Amino acid sequence: DSVERGEYRHYMQKEIFEQPRAVADTLEGRIGPHGILPNIFGIDADPILEKTRAIHIVACGTSYHAGMVAKYWIEQFARIPVVVEVASEYRYRDVVVPENTLFVAVSQSGETADTLAAMRESRRRGYLATFAICNVPESSVVRESDLRLMTRAGPEIGVASTKAFTTQLTAFALLALDLGRRRGLDGAKYLEHCKELQSLPRYIENALKIEPEILRIADHFINKQHALFLGRGAQFPVALEGSLKLKEISYIHAEAYPAGELKHGPLALVDENMPIVAVAPNGPLLDKLKSNLQEVRARGGELIVFADERAEMDDGTEHVAMVRVDGGGDLIAPAVFTIPLQLLAYHVAVQRGTDVDQPRNLAKSVTVE
């Protein structure tokens, strides 16, 4: 056990630090000088992806959050409408399936009972085809799907998913760009984004270097009972994933909100006992986010901000901590900003003395309903 963990104290920490490699492996042999290589989704993929006019993404837990990020990308690049739903809801709902809709199942294990049942149910619902994004080649989800793209995270032992998530984002970015190319995404933009995606391992490597800063911030959470995570756009699901990590392993109640929704409820909770973690990448929504943060600060909330290196944050907003992250371009920023949130949850849990790799009441793979 300690041999496998090497220098790391927990599997989760090891898996967080394996992400540059896991993402690089997931990209390996999938992008060439002219973009995404043919047949990476299977030899039957071409006619199906050409015909796809809508997408339904179904998953549980962390995999569901990856699907939520994908919705932003696919709609932006390919202008194809995407619905994302948790499998336990999808399977019992009377879903409307438009013509030529692709069903996408996302699962690290490929054995999650609800996801598998949803996929089987989808067979009766008249989809164009089923597509799996999965980390285990011999799993049921992969065996039963028409098309697939394997993540190559390697075995994930920690119950709280880390490298599975960033490799799922990588797989979805490939799918979104491929669909974009088929549906009118500008050729130069497409190639630029392919390059950007190839740089993701480097940006993750760099983001991991902020661990010492995170250690100091984690101190701050030890005696807290609640935390709020904020993000906007494709960083909203990243905030959701950050809050899930914190609750899973540190047992602190955490919620995530799209920052613009703050004024419609959660602002009432904000006081000095509520740390607020905000993800602030550089982009068109930055100014909006900054005014959301001022609303928090005005109510005495303690702000911990993960801001892009290029984001101008010196607007007088006080904060408990501001950590700078080089998020790269728009496409990869959600994966890059996931890193500090994983590290934060990890170090808070370590300091609170929980069983990080085996949190109470949770299982790595939930194979019964």
Residues in contact with ligand G6P by the rule CB under 6 A = 60-63, 107-109, 112, 115, 159-161, 362, 364-366
Least Cβ distance, residue 140 to ligand G6P (angstroms): 11
When the beta carbons of 137 and 300 are compared against ligand G6P, the nearer one is 137
Between CA 258 and CA 322 the distance in angstroms is: 19
Half-sphere exposure of 241 (CA within 13 A, CB side): 34
CB of 226 to ligand G6P, least distance (A): 22
* Closest CB 92 distance from ligand G6P, rounded Å: 18
364 is catalytic: yes
3-state DSSP assignment of residue 231: strand
Kindly tell me which of 112 and 250 has the beta carbon lying closer to ligand G6P.
Answer: 112
- Smallest gap from Cβ 99 to ligand G6P, in A, equals 28
What six digits make up the tokens of 146?
Answer: 């028409």
For residues 297 and 293, give the distance between their C-alpha atoms in angstroms, rounded to a whole number: 6
Question: 231 and 258 in contact (C-beta within 8 Å)?
Answer: yes
Structural tokens at position 241:
């994933």
Q: Which residue has the closest beta carbon to ligand G6P?
A: 61
Nearest-Å Rg of the Cα atoms of the chain is 20
- 359 in Cβ contact with 246 (< 8 Å): no
CA 16, chain centre distance (Å): 13
How far is Cα 10 from Cα 269, in angstroms, rounded to an integer?
A: 34
The distance of Cα 354 from the centroid of its chain, to the nearest Å, equals 24
CB hemisphere CA count around 342 (13 angstroms):
29
- Residue 243 CB, shortest distance to ligand G6P, in Å, is 14
Of the pair 57, 78, the CB lying nearest ligand G6P is at 57
Nearest distance from C-beta of residue 42 to ligand G6P, angstroms: 20
Q: Give the active site residue among 195, 245, 290, 364.
A: 364
Residues 7-10: contacts with CB under 8 Å, at least 24 apart: 9/350, 10/158, 10/346, 10/350, 10/356, 10/357
Q: Which helix (H) or strand (E) holds 316?
A: none
Q: Which is nearer to ligand G6P, 62 or 235 (CB)?
A: 62
Instruction: For ligand G6P, give the closer residue by CB, 183 or 247.
Output: 247
- Using DSSP, state whether 230 is helix, strand or coil: strand
Between 161 and 235, CB nearer to ligand G6P: 161
Helix pair 200-207, 19-27: axis angle to 10 deg: 180
Q: Which residues belong to the active site?
A: 364
